[in-house]
Amino acid sequence: MRSSMHWAVIAVACVSILLQSGCVAGQQLKYVEQFSKQPWQVFPGGRFKASTNSSMSATSMAGALFELKPGGVRELHWHNAAEWAMVLRGTCRATVLDEGKTHPTDTWDYTAGDVWYFPPNLPHSVVGLAPSGCLVLASYKSPDTNELKALSASGWLATLNVDTAALALGVPAGNAKRMLDKSRAQGRSQFIAQGPVQQLASQQPSLPVKRTKAVHRFSLAKNKYPVGPDGSYVNKADVATFPAATEMSGAILRLAPGGMRTLHWHPAADEWQYVINGTVEVGVFTAPGESITATIGPGDVGFAPVSSGHYVRNIGKDPAYLVLVFNNGVFTSIDVSNFLGAVPPSWLAAGLGISSDDARSINYRLAGLPGRPRPVQKKPEAAKKAGRKL
C-alpha cells in the first residue's frame, strides 16, 4: 500500500507544475462543451440532445438530455454502455427488465433529485408523467454512446419480414403486416413517441412480473451529507449507498458564491460534469505544460480524465449547482491541500520554489470545499500606520 508520504510527493509535483503552466498549452484539449447552445432534436413525445466524444475530449464517458412531455415515451431500448441518470425536473416512470424466466422488472416513479442506474444491455423505457413531464440528464460509461443509435424494439421490428414477425409475435400474418407497415412508415425508430397519459400511468404489464433483486433507484434528496460553513456540499451516491450502481457513481455539487471544489484528482475514475445553474470556472491539468481553464454556465458540460488535476470554482453571484458523474461505482478523491501537509514545510518550499514562510502560511487543514479566501492580515507596522489599535 502506498503511504501518505508517497502521495504527498506527487501532490507537491502536481501543484508546482500547475502553478507554472499556462492556461492552454495544447489546443487539442477540449474538456468543456457549450452544450447549452447545441440544438434539440424534436420528436412527437419530447426532445433530445447528446454530448459525445465527437464534440468534447471525453475519452470514456458521454451524456444526454431528455425532455419528455406528459405521455412522452422513450421506447424500450438497450445499449452496450451502463447508464447513470438524474431527474432534474418533473416526474417520470422508468422500467428496467432483467434477464430471467419470471420477467424480473424494476419500475419506479422518479422526481427531481432521483437517480437511476441501468447496467449494460438491460432493456429499459421511460414515460413522462402528468402534469409537466420530466427533464432527465443521462450519462454513459462509453465516450461515443448516442441514444439515437441504441437498439430498440421499433427499430428491430422494422427490419423483419412479415412471416418472421408473425411467428415471433404470435399474431396472424395480416396483423404483422399492418404493424410492420406502420413501423416502417415512421422511417426510423419511435425514439420518443407520444402516448395516452392516463393509460400509460394506470395500465398494468401484460405478463405477471417480479421485482429484480437490485433496486435501480436512489433518492439523493433523502441522502445525508456534510455541509460546509458557507453552505457548499457534495451529495454523492456510490456503490456504498446505491448498491445497484456497480460501475458508476455521481453527486450533486453545490458551491456557494466564491466557493470552490478544491484542487484534487480521482485515482480510479473520470469525471463528467453538467452545470444545472450558476457560472463556474473549471480547470484541468493533464501533463506538464498541458492545462485548460474555462468558464461554463447553465446547460454546459465538462470532463476531467482519471488522475488529472482539476477544480471547480463558483465565480458568480449566486449558488452554483452541478451534477458530477464518475465511471466507477466507488467514489475516491485526493485533495491536494490535505496531502501537502504530509511533508515538512521546507520540503514543500523546495518543491514549489517558494519561501519557507509562504510554505508555513498554507492552511493544510482545508476541507475539499474551501470558502472565500481568508483576508490578508496586515503586519503590525502597517496596522499602526493605518491608525488601528491591535
pLDDT digits (tens, 9 = 90+) for 188-229: 668 999 999 999 999 999 888 888 888 999 999 889 999 998
Q: Is residue 212 part of a domain?
A: yes
332's CB contacts (< 8 A; 6+ apart) are 266, 267, 268, 269
What the block records as the C-alpha cell of 161 is: 419480414
What is the pLDDT at residue 352?
92
- 209 and 308 inside one domain: no
Domain count, the chain: 2
Last residue of a domain, one of 185, 201, 217: 217
- For residue 69, give its domain range: 39-217
Task: Give the three-state DSSP class for 369.
Answer: coil
Which of the two residues, 118 and 186, has the higher pLDDT score? Answer: 118
End-to-end CA distance of the chain: 49
- 15 and 140 inside one domain: no
Last residue of a domain, one of 185, 200, 217: 217
Provide the pLDDT confidence category of residue 56 given band limits of 50, 70 and 90.
very high
What the block records as the C-alpha cell of 2 is: 502506498
- 102 and 181 inside one domain: yes
Q: Is residue 383 part of a domain?
A: no
> Which run of H or of E encompasses 228?
none
Give the CATH number, domain containing residue 45. Answer: 2.60.120.10
- 287 and 356 inside one domain: yes
Give me the percent of the chain exceeding a pLDDT of 90.
Answer: 73
- 15 and 47 inside one domain: no
**Per residue in 68-91, pLDDT tens?**
999 999 999 999 999 999 999 999
Q: Is residue 379 part of a domain?
A: no
- The candidate with the shortest Cα–Cα distance to 87, out of 147, 50, 134, is 134
- 22 and 81 inside one domain: no
- 352 and 269 inside one domain: yes
- 193 and 257 inside one domain: no
- 115 and 186 inside one domain: yes
- 164 and 313 inside one domain: no
Rounded CA gap, 203 and 206, in Å? Answer: 9
Provide the pLDDT confidence category of residue 17 given band limits of 50, 70 and 90.
very low
What is the pLDDT at residue 187?
55
Of 20-29, 198-207, 315-324, where does the model show the most confidence? 315-324
What is the pLDDT at residue 79?
97
Q: Is residue 372 part of a domain?
A: no
Q: Is residue 371 part of a domain?
A: no
Query: How many Cα atoms within 13 Å fall on the side-chain side of residue 6?
Result: 3
- The candidate with the shortest Cα–Cα distance to 261, out of 313, 338, 336, is 313
Q: Is residue 378 part of a domain?
A: no
- The candidate with the shortest Cα–Cα distance to 302, out of 87, 57, 92, is 57
- 286 and 180 inside one domain: no
Q: Is residue 369 part of a domain?
A: no
What is the pLDDT at residue 284?
97
> Which run of H or of E encompasses 155?
helix 153-157
Q: Is residue 66 part of a domain?
A: yes
Rounded CA gap, 11 and 149, in Å? Answer: 42
What is the pLDDT at residue 9?
40
Q: Is the pLDDT of residue 316 over 70?
A: yes
Q: Is the pLDDT of residue 315 over 80?
A: yes
Task: Give the three-state DSSP class for 217.
Answer: strand
Please give the C-alpha separations between residue 268 and each of 265, 292, 332, 333, in angstroms, as whole numbers.
9, 21, 7, 9
What the block records as the C-alpha cell of 210 is: 417480479
What is the pLDDT at residue 231?
94
- 203 and 276 inside one domain: no
